[in-house]
Structure 1
Amino acid sequence: MKAYPFILILLLCIAGGFAVPAAAGPSSVSVTSYEVDPQVPIRGDTATVTVAVQNTGTESVAVSRAMLYGSQIGILDSPYQSVGEIGAGTTREFTFPIKTAVSDGIHYLTFVLDFREGGSLRYQVPIRVESTDLAVALVERPDVFSEGRTDAVTLRIGNPRSAGVTGVSVAPEGEGYSVVPSSAFIGALAPDQAATVTFNVTPEEGADVSFRVSYRNGVNTHSTLLPLPLIISEGKRRADPVLTNIDLEANAGGYRVNGDIINAGLETARSVIVTVGEGATPEDPYRIYVVGALDPDDFSSFEVTFSAPEGTAEVPLVIQYRDDEGNIYRSSSAINLGAAAVLPDQGAEGFSGTAIAVVALIAIAIGGAIFYSWRKAKTSQ
């Protein structure tokens, strides 16, 4: 019976020996940090995982290899099949390339360091995958665009991601337009940060314009496209010169038209001129009438002289002006030559009836005076 305690103690020691983890490595070696670059990959990105291992002991530790394992995230290379030693008090870094072709969320990789004398060190590395794109919005644009007119378009680019991005730039795409500047560079955008850029767009009929925002997440390039809705029409605020009180007169030399021009728009019309268009020939003294600037609701009189071939029924009266950007606009309104008031001819073909009557009266008066003088002289003889 005295042998039982000895046997029990022996069995407990054997059991305790089997309970010691065979895979445990030196306690002086541990993972001190890890880094994922980019910090938050987008689905499909290529990234790197760097694990720092420190030996806090007083002796070197021999390492056979270092590996990174993952069930979903792809490990692109395993470059540490033979490591060597980690010196006492030193830190060694191990970097692995990965491919995050997985769904959004947090995925885990396992870092394994195998020791030459047996045992290993294991460490879980979390990888957060987030495919949120940059946010792009139009913050300023006209309600309608006018063909050939330059308008400002302002975009705001924001970063709603949980990590920063770099190399942010904006460039227009499409056809049938001109734009200044041709592109805009923003640079880095931290989380929850935004930036604005402005483009001056001059569209043509049928123009198609989009803005592409490009950026980098680590070594990966991404982009997002924002279409610009283009409605080509007459501007709601643009100047609108209108002719009124038109008076047309005809004479032997041609025609004279005068009237008023008023700006019925909401912007200033600059460098306003009035002349005649195709089918008529401007003549002196008022070939072109220069009005100048017309503010909204302002008006001015004008006068134009011209000639037209015989049988011409109507001719266009043309208004030309510029906006604040120097864009040229033209409009025309037809005038009916048949409605012209005919003035008496004062040219080489003769005098008017009134002038002839006056001359006749003067001649009669002079003749009467001469006859009276002659009669008086004869009577006195």
Structure 2
Amino acid sequence: ARAQISVTSVSLDPEVFEPYDTGTLTCEIKNSGQTSVPIDRVTVYDKDITLLSREYDTTAWIGPGESKTFTFTIRAQCGDGTYYPILSVNTRESGSIRYPVRLKVDSTTPVISIQQKPDTYTAEKKEKIVLAISNPRDNEIKNLHLTPSGEKVVLSPTDSFIGSLKSGETSEVTFEVTPTVETNLTFTLAYANGETDHTTSRALPVIFGYDKKQADPYVSNVIVKKETSGYHITGDVTNAGMENAASVVVTMTGEAEPIYPYKNYVVGTLKPDDFSSFELSFNTTGATVVPIEIKFKDDDGNQYTRTTDLDLTHAMKQDENNGSSPILIIVVILICLGGVGFYVYRKRILPGVFR
């Protein structure tokens, strides 16, 4: 009878255990003889691999040419390494079969890597983060579910279901992040290795700083004129950034009081390296430096403000120096009158002298 019975296949789920994982061992026993064989006991034993399910200790007959499947629930009560639990098959008539099963235990976890992220973050500005989830294990893992979290941050989507990853496979996941404060983002990956659930995580700090690509409008070529009612300025506003500046509005603020006809100037959208002229009217009492304010929005609708100080001292001196002096005006008039008088004198009084 012993010669008639053989273990024809053994499978493990998962194929590779993590330490303290629970899984299943399934074996197939075949009777290749001409008569039925009674199987009295089938079990698995090892000091590092614990049998959680009951052993098969009720007589089971396997007919000629037939096979029978036995499934056990086991747990790897051990660390990384390769183990050989024994599958034992006892027959009533001819003793037992001892079959060593190769079982690998590996604590390697899936890898969460950052594929794309901003160089720096800005409060209330939406940014895109792309993650790559890779499976470096020698077996397939299932039910992968990635969840981001962070203090005072808006995340979209709030989670992502990846499904299964075979050995060596990678899947990309994209999140949109809008932080309101500096924080740490945590990406938690839940997955199943066989019947056992696991988690691993990756932290990503969110630090505010200057975004080198964001819109950067600034004013230049400013000309200030002092008028009776106040000041009138003209200039250019240029977008020196690499992103659009939308809804651009230029106005005066601080101690400068905007007045008609140009209390503010709506520029609209400035593309990168684009510029527009503007003009403003304002008045101030005693101030020698006043701020020009530029308000604009990014493509997500977040509003920003830039200010540039404008020195009025030079403008006032320029106004005084360039104004027409009364003495100079009198001199010019006298010169003109003298020239006219001389011409008349030449034509009428001394006509013969110049012929």
> Is TM-score (shorter-chain normalized) higher than 0.5?
yes
Q: Is residue 296 of structure 2 the alignment partner of residue 321 of structure 1?
A: yes
Residue 266 of structure 2 aligns with an amino acid whose one-letter code is V
Is structure 2 residue 172 aligned with structure 1 residue 172?
no
Structure 1 CA distance, aligned partners of 2:233 and 2:195? Answer: 71
Task: Tell me, in whole angstroms, the C-alpha distance in 2 between the residues paired with 1:251 and 1:205.
Answer: 46
1:51-70 superposed matches below 5 A: 51-70=27-46
Match of 1:226 in 2: 202
Deviation at 1:314, TM superposition (A): 4.8
Moved more, 157-166 or 333-342: 333-342
SS in 2 for 1:306: strand
Are the aligned partners of 1:66 and 1:83 in contact in 2 as well (CA < 8 Å)?
A: no
State the Cα deviation string for residues 9-62 of structure 1 (Å, max 9, x = none).
xxxxxxxxxxxxxxxx53212111111111111111101111111122333222
Report the more deviating stretch, 275-284 or 82-91: 275-284
Q: Aligned partners of 1:69 and 1:205: how far apart in 2?
A: 56
Equivalent position of 1:191 in the other structure: 167
> Displacement, 1:211?
1.6
Q: Give the secondary structure class of the aligned counterpart of 1:245.
A: strand
1:125 Cα offset (Å): 1.2
SS, match of residue 27 in structure 1: helix
The TM-score normalised by the length of structure 1 is 0.76
Distance 2:184 2:254 in 1: 34
Equivalent position of 1:98 in the other structure: 74
Decide which moves more: 156-165 or 324-333.
324-333
Q: Secondary structure at the match of 1:227?
A: strand
**Runs of 5+ in structure 2 lacking a partner?**
330-355
Cα deviation code 1:316-370 (max 9, x no counterpart): 32101122333221111233566664989xxxxxxxx99xx9xxxxxxxxxxxxx
Q: Give the structure with higher Rg (CA).
A: 1
Q: How much does 1:252 deviate?
A: 5.3
- Give the secondary structure class of the aligned counterpart of 1:205: coil
Decide which of 280, 286, 293 is 2:269's aligned counterpart.
293
How many positions carry a matched residue from both structures? 322
CA RMSD of aligned residues (A): 2.6
CA distance in 2 between counterparts of 1:109 and 1:329 reads: 67
Contact 1:273 1:292 survives alignment (8 Å): yes
**Aligned partner (choices 184, 204, 219) of residue 208 of structure 1:** 184
1:289 offset after TM fit, Å?
Answer: 0.5
- Equivalent pair of 1:68/1:78 in contact (CA under 8 Å): no
* Matched ranges for 1:74-153 at <5 A: 74-117=50-93, 119-153=95-129
Partners of 2:252 and 2:258 within 8 A in 1: yes
User: 2:219: which partner in 1?
Assistant: 243
How far apart are residue 288 of structure 1 and its match?
Answer: 2.1
Read off the aligned partner of 1:144 and give its amino acid letter: T
Residues in 1 aligned to 2:99 and 2:248: alpha-carbon distance in whole angstroms: 79
Residue 296 of structure 1 aligns to a residue whose secondary structure is coil
Quote the residue 2:347 is aligned against: none
In 2, the alpha carbon distance for the partners of 1:258 and 1:305 equals 9
What does 1:256-275 align with in structure 2 at a 5 Å threshold? 256-275=232-251
CA shift, 1:298, in A, is 2.8
